[in-house]
Amino acid sequence: MSAQIYSPFESFNFSNNKCFLTGEALNTEEEKIQVFPQWLMSRYKLEDQPFKLLDESMATYKDLKLPCSAAINEQYLEPLEAVIAAAFDTGYEAVKELDELQLFQWAGKLLYGIIFNEIQAGIRQQHAQGDEFNISQSIIHKFSNLHLMLQTLNLPIELDGFKPFSLNLFKVDNADDVFGYRDEINTLTFSLRIKDFGLIICLQDNGANSSYHKEMLEKVKGHTLHPIQFEEVNGRFFYSAYLFNRLPEYNIMPVGDTIYIEAMPLRGTSSKPLFDDWVNKIYGQVLENFWKNWGFLLLEIIKNPEKPMSFLFNADGDFTNESTIELSQ
């Protein structure tokens, strides 16, 4: 029998008795994996740290779990975790050598795990109030596509000449034991700053955000960043992901035992640019949030509304060497 793609958003089944990746029935509701892998939680002592869900309820990192068949976990997920854990242990040079698709799969599984838990919490909350659970069609479209791409883990899927993501890795002069994690599930944006590196992935943009920031990425290429510089890059990507106004579409073509996925042109029939207009005041609000550790306020950041504060580039637009930045880590 040829491989079958599983589409959980068609039946909207997010119970704990089905494997999140394949939809197969589980033997017990205890058949689960951690959303944040155990090696990561142990390394950064995350197990009992608070994790806030969108409905304002609090969980801990170790509370976040995904129903997953033991066979799928053993065959596909554990080997992936072992590869990622070994590279992350070593740091930037090892992470740079990883296959980008593996990094995408790892980050995508983590973010999808959070989405799964958010949906379960939303369903519980709505049912407790006697309401039906509602979620916008555009969000379902994005989450479905992410889940589709995650099945590159366990199915013979070939991505036909495209990457569904923008992935950028930076060498960062981090303090020891820093754990900087951010996500934005509406835009499917993921960021992690640990060891001597920072990683930013826009999980569902077919590379558009990397193209949008091409000039900036060229200027920072090969440089080690101060943490505040990385957070500035982070702010730029999280804001542009919010401005990105397309929903990628794909053709799925089973040929023999292989499933080919082809990306439709992002431009489509619309003459509208792929990104909405950049507004410095809103970008400044994003930066204020990303620079919380250093206490910069919006009024300082957009003192010059035409040129928001930057630690990446000087007034002439040249890269600022991180060794000249006199701020604590």
Q: At 270, is the secondary structure helix, strand, or coil?
A: coil
Pairing of strands 258-263, 157-159: parallel
Contact between residue 217 and residue 168 where contact means Cβ atoms under 8 Å apart: yes
Contact between residue 203 and residue 188 where contact means Cβ atoms under 8 Å apart: yes
DSSP 8-state code for residue 223:
P
| Same-domain status, 14 and 103 | yes
pLDDT computed for residue 123 by the predictor:
85
Number of compact structural domains in the chain: 2
Cβ neighbours of residue 8 under 8 Å, at least 6 residues apart?
A: 14, 18, 20, 23, 147
| Same-domain status, 274 and 240 | yes
The closest of 152, 139, 241, 138 to 189, measured between CA atoms, is 241
Q: Which of 118, 136, 159 is the last residue of a domain?
A: 159
Taking phi over 0 as left and psi of -120 to 50 as alpha, with beta for the rest, 240 belongs to alpha
pLDDT computed for residue 279 by the predictor:
97
Burial class (CB in 10 A: 0-12, 13-18, 19+), 127: exposed
Q: Which of 134, 159, 184 is the last residue of a domain?
A: 159
Residue numbers of the domain that contains 144: 1-159
| Same-domain status, 94 and 176 | no
pLDDT computed for residue 13 by the predictor:
83
Long-range contacts of 214-219 (CB under 8 A, 24+ apart): 216/312, 217/168, 219/312, 219/313, 219/317, 219/318, 219/319
Cα distances (Å, whole numbers) of residue 69 to 16, 24, 72, 113: 11, 8, 5, 14
Q: Name the helix (H) or strand (E) containing 66.
A: strand 65-67
| Same-domain status, 145 and 201 | no
Separation of alpha carbons 265 and 267, rounded Å? 5
| Same-domain status, 146 and 260 | no
| Same-domain status, 172 and 228 | yes
Contact between residue 143 and residue 118 where contact means Cβ atoms under 8 Å apart: no
| Same-domain status, 86 and 13 | yes
Q: What is the pLDDT along the chain (329 residues), one digit of tens a residue?
A: 467 899 999 988 898 999 999 999 999 888 999 999 999 999 999 999 999 888 778 899 999 999 999 999 999 999 999 999 999 999 999 999 999 999 999 999 999 999 999 999 888 887 777 777 788 899 999 999 999 999 999 999 999 999 999 999 999 999 988 999 999 999 999 999 999 999 999 999 999 999 999 999 999 999 999 999 999 999 999 999 999 999 999 999 999 899 999 999 998 767 899 999 999 999 999 999 999 999 999 999 999 999 999 999 998 999 999 889 888 76
| Same-domain status, 61 and 150 | yes
Cβ neighbours of residue 40 under 8 Å, at least 6 residues apart?
A: 46, 85, 88
Cβ neighbours of residue 294 under 8 Å, at least 6 residues apart?
A: 228, 327, 328
Q: Which of 159, 174, 189 is the last residue of a domain?
A: 159
Q: Name the one residue in this structure whose structure tokens are 């439709």.
A: 264
pLDDT computed for residue 2 by the predictor:
64
pLDDT computed for residue 130 by the predictor:
74
Separation of alpha carbons 245 and 219, rounded Å? 26
pLDDT computed for residue 329 by the predictor:
62
pLDDT computed for residue 127 by the predictor:
74
